[in-house]
Structure 1
Amino acid sequence: MKTKVPTTHRFDSRDPETIHDFLARAYRGKVSVRPAGGVRYRFRHHRVDAGSFWLEASDQSTRLDIDVEPAAALVICEVVNGRIDRTCGAYGRFGPGDIFLVTLPDLPCSLRWLPGRVTTCLLSLSVLDRVTGTASAGRASTVQFTGLTPASPALAGLWRHTTSYLNHVVLSNPYAYREPLVIANAARMLAASALAVFPNTTAGWPSATDRRAATTATLRRATAFIEEYADRDIGAADIAAAAQVSLRTLQLAFRRHLDTTPMAHLRRVRLDRAHRDLMQADPRQETVSAIASRWGFLSHSRFTARYHATYGFPPSRTLHA
């Protein structure tokens, strides 16, 4: 999957016709907006568009009735202040702090948005398919969400933490806008969080077939693929496909033989590559943050802590040695 350089868009208007035209363009004609009583109002919108996901914040000053056509993305909303009433098969009312799926893919819905502010994440369904290993040529997504609200308050907190982390740590990192692995890993983080937070059909235990196939030969094929393609946007599903096994078989093979996960092993290989680059880099030309971002590490502080725990000294010492 080609990774897009993130772009930022801002919109601020008091004209209903201009606002409607903007939303129709922004959501490709999938939204119909009717302000209460046809009054003039103010609508402000800020979006970071990373291609495979968008992070948005919007606020407005009147009641809006909104019809949303089926979306080819997972749309997750948090009410900051105000209230949203949603009808999508069943009725739901959401106030400050509430998190919910605006609709399920391929289902229309209606919203009544009272004055206030919301944040929204739009996540490409293809990212969900890649994370779960359900993507294949000519086959529709098999990720099915069975609920529109988080499975628990703790999991709602996980979603808040994930989006806050991406907004304040990843997307504020200037290197993120140049290194495709950073944005690709951010998309995978959002997908994994959404799958953990909202009820869906992807959970399950390894079968007898999975257990028989979780051999050292499977592990060798998987680790060879990781070694060769660690600089690419790959995930567990890609590794499983290269090893010619299911995702559950792959995960079991890594647990059984290495006591780790495929993605943890990939991160360790990338850490080793970053270590090599730090040893070879000219400190007058390179920085620790640039090298960490090149290998997909989202946070400079977390990279430094992981590097120190692995090698016994900070990455800055390696760079300036």
Structure 2
Amino acid sequence: MTSPVQTRGFDSCDPSAIHAFLAETYGTDLRIRAGDDGYRLVHRSVDAGPFALATIGQTASLDIGVGEIDGLVICRARTARVDRTCDGATHQLAPGEVFLATRPGLPFAVGWHPGEVEVCVLDLAVLAQVATAAPARRPGRIRFTDIAPATAALARQWRTTTTYVRDVVLTNPIASTQPLVIGNAARMLAASALTVFPNTAVTDPTIEDRRDATTATLRRAIAFMDEHADLDITAADIADAAAVSLRAVQLAFRRHLNTTPMAYLRRVRLDRAHHDLLLADPRRDTVSAIASRWGFASHSRFTAWYHASYGVPPRETLSA
């Protein structure tokens, strides 16, 4: 299988080349103004499709005007200071701070002082997958009401999430080829963004949601998971298959099984991985390859879940 993950590096002191590269990479109109002494830009990125992570370093103070970007752009100022202006408001960000570069669909400008910035660009469709309601009750486009995390603890959560995705998921040559793994990572980032930054996404169950959280809903959801566990299905897909809202299906699983839809799906995939381990040839197959096939990017997490469920480490099942 061809890896959906594309790694790219760029290093230049040529203003024209830098402008062209950034415009192509971020698909938008850019205006860049630097000092007379010139500058160097180093850009390292990993594009996984529904999301991309990049580390960008530069050696001069730059003023950058950015047109509309059809995605959520979340930044962490690693060593640089950043002055960010959007929708008439200006914020000064210090090294270490996490912030939204822009609200989706709005142009913005940054005054970027020398140093490094980490950027995550997240497809808005992934946010909708995580936050969507039933088809008849879908909210409007999610609107973020503040560019800063709600608390310092939530800012740390964002840093922890991106570190896991970058260092565990994207650096795993087996896991990063699997659509289940990439889809899970994208939704992990989206869920974290919706938790970290204040927004208008609806999270509380409605009266209709509580009414629909029945055992019939649960059966329809479980049947869909059993049939499609090998595909990159989302909680919104499960809710659509059960013909209820996402909140209703979440409430049904919590009410009747004391779990969540995605935790139940993980258990289904763990059972499928167990079955594959039982049938695998230890001379050709590996635990990591089988785990990745079923959406488990972290070998240590998979081993812990497997041992808790089956009483032995997965390598013992494979060897047997």
Partner residue, 2:205? 206
- Specify the code of the residue in structure 1 equivalent to 2:19: H
**Separation in 1 of the partners of 2:140 and 2:3?**
22
1:28-49 deviation digits (Å, cap 9, x = unpaired): 2332211123x32111000001
Q: Give the drift of 1:142.
A: 2.3
SS class of match (1:81): coil
Report if aligned partners of 1:35, 1:62 keep a CA contact under 8 Å in 2.
yes
Partner residue, 1:77? 75
1:51 aligns with 2:38: no
Partner residue, 1:286? 285
1:277-310 deviation digits (Å, cap 9, x = unpaired): 0001001111000000000012000000110011
**Separation in 2 of the partners of 1:153 and 1:31?**
32
**Separation in 1 of the partners of 2:246 and 2:240?**
8
Q: Give the drift of 1:76.
A: 0.4
Query: CA 1:135–1:5 in structure 2 vs 1: closer, same or farther (change >3 Å)?
Result: farther
Report if aligned partners of 1:134, 1:141 keep a CA contact under 8 Å in 2.
no
Superposition map of 1:198-237 within 5 A: 198-237=197-236
Q: Give the drift of 1:177.
A: 3.1
Report if aligned partners of 2:73, 2:120 keep a CA contact under 8 Å in 1.
yes
Report if aligned partners of 2:139, 2:201 keep a CA contact under 8 Å in 1.
no
- Specify the code of the residue in structure 2 equivalent to 1:42: R
Partner residue, 1:309? 308
Stretches of structure 1 that go unaligned for 5 or more consecutive residues are none
**Separation in 2 of the partners of 1:212 and 1:25?**
49
Q: Decide which of 55, 61, 64 is 1:63's aligned counterpart.
A: 61
Q: Give the drift of 1:141.
A: 5.4
Partner residue, 1:169? 168
Report if aligned partners of 1:126, 1:135 keep a CA contact under 8 Å in 2.
no
SS class of match (2:9): strand
**Bigger mean CA offset, 301-310 vs 28-37:** 28-37
Superposition map of 1:1-321 within 5 A: 5-37=4-36, 39-89=37-87, 90-133=89-132, 142-321=141-320
TM-score (norm 2): 0.96
- Specify the code of the residue in structure 1 equivalent to 2:293: R
**Separation in 2 of the partners of 1:10 and 1:104?**
27
Stretches of structure 2 that go unaligned for 5 or more consecutive residues are none
Q: Give the drift of 1:52.
A: 0.7
Report if aligned partners of 1:30, 1:71 keep a CA contact under 8 Å in 2.
no
- Specify the code of the residue in structure 2 equivalent to 1:264: A
| Fraction of identical pairs, as percent | 58
TM-score (norm 1): 0.95
**Separation in 1 of the partners of 2:252 and 2:244?**
10
Report if aligned partners of 1:134, 1:142 keep a CA contact under 8 Å in 2.
no
Report if aligned partners of 2:65, 2:110 keep a CA contact under 8 Å in 1.
yes
1:101-142 deviation digits (Å, cap 9, x = unpaired): 0000111111100111000000000111111125979x9952
Q: Give the drift of 1:69.
A: 0.8
Q: Give the drift of 1:238.
A: 0.6
- Specify the code of the residue in structure 1 equivalent to 2:40: R
**Separation in 2 of the partners of 1:218 and 1:275?**
27
Q: Give the drift of 1:70.
A: 1.2
Q: Give the drift of 1:4.
A: 6.6
- Specify the code of the residue in structure 2 equivalent to 1:17: S
**Separation in 2 of the partners of 1:211 and 1:67?**
47
- Specify the code of the residue in structure 1 equivalent to 2:69: A
**Separation in 2 of the partners of 1:302 and 1:170?**
12
